[in-house]
Amino acid sequence: MSTAVASRELTAVDRCDRCGAQAYVRAVLEASGGELLFCGHHARTVEATLRPLTSQWQDERERLHEKEPVLVDD
């Protein structure tokens, strides 16, 4: 897997492999190069065990706290 693909921003199309919710964490496995996607909740539950086995841990959970812009109709 190329670094360019692995480091792209996660979008609403990327879904958690455990529950199907929007993914905010991508774990690229060191041994196989495969990737796993997790929502914030499931990333928290597997991080301590899984992170040492990854070559990349792309964490975008801070986006969960971003506020959507408010559109004002004039």
In a domain, 19, yes or no: yes
pLDDT at position 64, please? 76
pLDDT at position 70, please? 72
Residues of the chain with pLDDT under 70: 1-7, 66, 74
Beta-carbon contacts of 34 under 8 Å, excluding residues fewer than 6 positions away, are: 1, 28
In a domain, 46, yes or no: yes
In a domain, 52, yes or no: yes
In a domain, 73, yes or no: no
The total number of structural domains that make up the chain: 1
In a domain, 68, yes or no: no
pTM: 0.77
Q: Which structural domain, as residue segments, surrounds residue 37?
A: 3-62
In a domain, 16, yes or no: yes
Instruction: Dump the DSSP string for 1-34.
Output: --HHHHTSPP-TT-B-TTT-SBP-EEEEETTT--
In a domain, 69, yes or no: no
In a domain, 38, yes or no: yes
